[in-house]
Amino acid sequence: MNKVVVSPAKVFSLNISEIAPDKSISHRSVMFSMLSNGVSEIENFLRAEDTLNSLKIIKNLGAEVEDNGKTIKISSNGIQESFEILDCGNSGTGMRLFCGLLSSAKGHFILTGDKYLRGRPMKRVTAPLISIGAKIDGRENGDLAPLSIRGASLKAFDYKSQIASAQVKSCMILAALHADGVCTYTEPELSRDHTERMLKGMGADIKVNGLKTTINPLKNLLTPLKIRVPADPSSAFFFAVAAAITPDSNVILEGVTLNPTRIEAFKALERMGADISYELLEDKYEPVGNIHVKYAPLHAILVENNISWLIDELPALSIAMACAKGESLVKNAKELRVKESDRITTVVQGLQSCGIHVDEYEDGYKIIGSTLKKAKVDSGGDHRIAMSFIIAGLKCGMEVRDLECINTSFPNFFELLKKITTIEIS
Ligand code: S3P
C-alpha cells in the first residue's frame, strides 16, 4: 500500500458506527490494567499498530492477556523486568507514558520506536522524571530514544510544566502514584484528561482543580477497569470535514467520546459555519454520544487558543480552511512541529502543492481559502497528514503517497472512505 488516488465525492448521507476506537483511551486501558488487583476488561480496544504495540509491551512486562477478539481481559502481578526491548513503534503516547510507568518499577527496561519516534523529543518527560530520582538515559543526554530506564525510588514533586501536553501530564501522574509523598502537576492550558478520569474511576486519589492536579501515592492496587472504548473523535473528524466540504452532504458519527478536551475541532468547524450537533448517550469514565455534521458554506476563522485540544485535528481542519471563504490563521501552535511529522511544514507544503496560498510562521500558518487543485502529496510518514489530504481529494481528486502510517491509528479508514468515493490503492 504505497499510494492512493482519490476521486472527488458526490453528495453523501451516512451513519458511521465503525470509526476507529479511541487511541488515547486504548493505550491507557492496557497500561493502567497493570496497576490493578484484578481482571480488567476492555471492549472495543483499538487494534491498530500503535496500541497493539502497547498491548505487546504489557505482555512483555508480565501481564496475562486473554483476548477473544471482542473483549481483552488483563491481569497482572505487578510489572516484571523484561527480557525484550520494548518497541513503541510510532507512538509518542506509548513511549512517554511507559517512561512514567516504568521509572519506579523494579528492573531495567529499554524503550525504542521506529525511525520517526526515535527522532522525537523525550526530554520533556525524562528531565522531570530524572529530577525526582528516576534513572533514565538515552541519546542526546536522554532526549532521544532508545531510552534505558532502571526503576528507582521517586521523590514527591510540585511540577509546573511549560507545555500543555497530556503525554507529559500522564507520564508524571503515573510516576506520582509511586512517589514518596503527595505530588502536584500544573499545566499552562488544560490538555486531554483521560488519565485523570480513568485512574479516578479505578479508585486512585487524584484531585483536579483547574490546571492543577494533586496526586496521592497509591496505598493499594486499583480496582480493575471495565471499559468499552468509545470511537476516536480525532479519527471521526476526517469524516466531519468530508461532510463539511461536500455540498448537501451529512454524516452521523456514532459512539464518539464527547470529552470537551477532545471535540474542540468540531467546535472550530462549527465556528466556520458547519452545521454540527451533539447527542449525549452515556457517561461512565467519559461522555459518549453521536455527532451530526451537515454541509454549509464555510468561512475563515482564527485559531489561537486551546491548541492542545486541536493538536491532532489541525491538519484536517486546515483542509476545511483551504475550502473556506477568507483568510484563516493558526497561531501558538509550535507543538505541531514535534508531532509524527513537522505538521506546520507538511500542512503548508501539501496545501501549496494543491494551489492554495499559505504563509508559514514559526508557530502556525495563514491559509487563504480558494479552489483546491488535484496534486501529489507525500504523508511524511504521518497518519494525520495522509488522511487529511485524502479527504482534500474528495473536493478535487488527489494522489497521496506513503500510506502505511494510517495503520497506526485508523486501519479501516479506506473501508469507510469507499462509502463516499472511489479510490485506487497501489
Ligand atoms: C495524546 C496526547 C497528544 C496527542 C497524541 C495523543 C495522548 O499529545 O497529540 O496523539 O494520548 O495523551 P501531547 O499530549 O504531547 O500534545
CATH code, domain with 394: 3.65.10.10
Helix (H, G, I), strand (E, B) or coil at 362: coil
**Do residues 262 and 182 share a domain?**
no
Q: What's residue 165's pLDDT?
A: 98
Q: One of 50, 114, 193, 312 is an active-site residue; which one?
A: 312
Task: Report the Cα–Cα distance between both ends of the chain, in Å, rounded.
Answer: 6
Q: Report the C-alpha gap between 366 and 372 in whole angstroms.
A: 16
Q: What's residue 284's pLDDT?
A: 87
Q: What's residue 180's pLDDT?
A: 98
Which stretch of DSSP H or E encloses residue 357?
A: strand 357-361
pLDDT-based confidence at residue 312 (cuts at 50, 70, 90):
very high
Measured over the CA atoms of residue 396, residue 399, residue 401 and residue 403, the dihedral's sign is: positive
Residue 137 designated active-site: no
**Do residues 239 and 376 share a domain?**
yes
Buried b (16+ CB within 10 A) or exposed e, 300-328: bbebeebbbbbbbbbbbbbbbbbbbeeeb
Q: What's residue 66's pLDDT?
A: 98
- DSSP 8-class letter at 77: S
Q: What's residue 3's pLDDT?
A: 97
**Do residues 221 and 235 share a domain?**
no
**Do residues 320 and 274 share a domain?**
yes
From 183, 206, 228, give the residue that closes a domain: 228
165 CA → ligand 1 middle, Å: 6
Q: What's residue 324's pLDDT?
A: 98
Show the domain range for 420.
3-21+230-425
Q: What's residue 34's pLDDT?
A: 98
User: Tens digits of per-residue pLDDT, 6-29?
Assistant: 999 999 999 999 999 999 999 999
Q: Is residue 166 lining ligand 1, measured as CB closer than 6 Å?
A: yes
Q: Is residue 195 lining ligand 1, measured as CB closer than 6 Å?
A: no
Q: Is residue 257 lining ligand 1, measured as CB closer than 6 Å?
A: no
**Do residues 303 and 317 share a domain?**
yes
Of all atoms in ligand 1, which is nearest to the CA of residue 24?
Answer: 11
Reported residue count of the chain is 426
Q: Is residue 409 lining ligand 1, measured as CB closer than 6 Å?
A: no
**Do residues 222 and 319 share a domain?**
no
User: Tens digits of per-residue pLDDT, 283-301?
Assistant: 988 999 999 999 999 999 9
Q: What's residue 1's pLDDT?
A: 74
**Do residues 245 and 339 share a domain?**
yes
Average pLDDT over residues 400-420: 98
**Do residues 265 and 414 share a domain?**
yes
Of all atoms in ligand 1, which is nearest to the CA of residue 170?
Answer: 12
pLDDT-based confidence at residue 371 (cuts at 50, 70, 90):
very high
**Do residues 195 and 322 share a domain?**
no
Q: What's residue 318's pLDDT?
A: 98
Q: What's residue 283's pLDDT?
A: 93
From 179, 209, 228, give the residue that closes a domain: 228
Q: What's residue 133's pLDDT?
A: 98
**Do residues 237 and 149 share a domain?**
no
User: What is the four-CA torsion angle of 109, 114, 120, 121, rounded to 10 degrees?
Assistant: 0
Strands 64-67 and 71-75: antiparallel
Q: Is residue 33 lining ligand 1, measured as CB closer than 6 Å?
A: no
Q: Which three cell numbers stand for residue 210?
A: 483547574
User: What is the four-CA torsion angle of 33, 36, 40, 43, rounded to 10 degrees?
Assistant: -40
**Do residues 181 and 112 share a domain?**
yes
From 197, 228, 259, give the residue that closes a domain: 228
User: Tens digits of per-residue pLDDT, 99-147?
Assistant: 999 999 999 999 999 999 999 999 999 999 999 999 999 999 999 999 9
Q: Is residue 24 lining ligand 1, measured as CB closer than 6 Å?
A: yes
Q: Tell me the best of 24, 167, 308, 310 to mutate to test the pocket of ligand 1, counting ligand atoms within 8 Å of each CB and taking the most.
A: 167
Residue among 226, 213, 203, 161 at smallest CA distance from 182: 213
- How many separate domains does the chain show? 2
Q: What's residue 132's pLDDT?
A: 98
**Do residues 260 and 396 share a domain?**
yes
